[in-house]
Amino acid sequence: MKRLFTLFILLSSIIFSNCQVERKSVAIQDKDLNSKLDEVIYQASNQYKFMMETLPENRFPKTYHADQDKLETSNSGWWCSGFYPGSLLYMYEQNKDVELLVEANRIMKVLEKEKFNTTTHDLGFMMFCSFGNALEIAPDESYKDVLIQSAKSLSSRFDEKVGVIKSWDSKEGDYLVIIDNMMNLELLFWASQETGDPTYRDIAIKHADNTIKNHFREDYSTYHVVNYNPKTGGVNKKHTAQGYADESAWARGQAWGLYGYIVMYRFTKDEKYLDLANNIANLILDHPNLPEDKIPYWDFDAPNIPDALRDSSAGAIIASALFELATYVDKSASKKYFHNAEIMLESLVSAPYLADPKTNGGFILNHGVGHIPENTEVDTPLTYGDYYFLEAIKRYKNHVKSI
């Protein structure tokens, strides 16, 4: 009996020691990546200061053409306009570099007029990624006013009969809705919380529920575009605009869907949204065409895999989404999601994705893919890729702090 007890103690000691070693190795790994991310934020800040030297006063960075050494910019009405100030604010949160905050405040004054823009569904991207982040850093009533008006403008694109927010204006008889639109619902939830008016929340829920009904296939991949009949609310057609084919799984579309339904669960705690987010996440992570470094090809069904282009922006969005999803699920799923997101982040902070200093027009990430069918922004930096990359870093570092 005494021998058995002694053996039990010995085995317990070994198991405990192994667990301690495993925990220590994970902590060391986190510490190493966390330290590298500090360097990346410093480098990213210098990149954006480099970009600021060539950015026209009232323009917003869009992409960079290396073959022409040309920074492509947009006006404030372009759907990506909020990502530049949002990225500056994410970096400022990390390193308190006042120069970044000053620039963010300057460009948001140019952006502010878009709060009245009723011609786009992208006001969540444009205004919440900018003024929403600014509000987190420094509570300001003027920021709240901008966001509430933006929510009103976005809501004007909702049609009760169709039950969704129109994405793109088109010819008569079309009512076009893209999966990207799920990313704009966060603004509406915020507006309901801030004003006490449930209308914004109700619109977001109706849009999300009808998107579940009409956008997703049996395997939980999503169509890019659904064209509704504005008179009946029925579906005219399901197709793609930026993916390889109508029935293919365009990588960034899957990323928007994943991120959007995680946001839906965050605000509603409705399990159906969490279930869908889990299913989308597992579709992505278990897909046979997901590369070893976890940065997806631009379309999971691209015909020339493994030679197809990667999309660093899709990788950044997925990584950021998975870091949040990992906080809502059981231990086993959480470990899977966090581990994969960590691999994605480690890939993005390394070659060939992370740009060298004073290259890439000042953008942080290489190898984004915007719109291959129209041959625009193909294998270039993308402003939203940088934004969600910085958000993924923030979420990872917050996790490390909580350990």
Residue at 364: amino acid letter: I
**Residue 180 labeled ligand binder:** yes
User: Around Cβ 84, how many Cβ atoms within 10 Å?
Assistant: 30
- Say how far apart CA 141 and CA 391 lie, in whole Å: 24
The β-bridge partners of 365 are: 354
Distance from C-alpha of 267 to C-alpha of 251, rounded to nearest angstrom: 25
pLDDT band at 16 (very low <50, low <70, confident <90, very high): very low
In this predicted structure, what is the pLDDT of residue 23? 40
Q: Is 232 marked as a binding-site residue? A: no
Measured at the alpha carbon of residue 301, what is the angle toward residues 348 and 324, in degrees to the nearest 5? 40
Element (H, E) at 322: helix 312-325
256 labeled part of a ligand binding site: yes
375 φ, ψ (degrees, to nearest 5)? 55, 45
Confirm or deny that 268 is annotated as ligand binding: no
What average pLDDT does this structure show over 129-140?
A: 96
Q: Are 301 and 244 in contact (CB under 8 A)?
A: yes
Catalytic residue list: 122, 180
Q: pLDDT of 349-386, one tens digit each?
A: 999 999 999 999 999 999 999 999 999 999 999 999 99
Contacts 24+ apart (CB under 8 A), 327-333: 328/262, 328/265, 328/266, 328/274, 329/274, 329/278, 333/278
pLDDT at 15: 45
In tens, the pLDDT along 225-268 reads 999 999 999 999 999 999 999 999 999 999 999 999 999 999 99
pLDDT at position 209 is 98
- pLDDT, mean over the chain: 93
Q: Give all strands (DSSP E) within 195-315, no chain letters.
A: 225-228, 235-239
Is residue 222 marked as binding?
no
Helices (H), 119-215: 123, 133-137, 141-155, 185-195, 199-215
Please say whether the beta carbons of 170 and 140 come within 8 A: no
Q: How far is CA 110 from the centre of its chain?
A: 24
Q: Are 83 and 386 in contact (CB under 8 A)?
A: yes
* Confidence check: pLDDT of 39 > 70: yes
pTM for the whole structure: 0.93
Grade residue 30 by pLDDT with cuts at 50, 70 and 90. low
Section 92-114 average pLDDT: 98
What's the whole-number mean pLDDT along residues 286-307?
A: 98
* pLDDT surpassing 90 at residue 31: no
In the three-class reduction of DSSP (H, G, I as helix; E, B as strand; rest coil), residue 39 is classed as helix
pLDDT value at residue 403: 75
Q: What share of the chain has pLDDT > 70, as a percent?
A: 92
pLDDT at 13 over 70: no
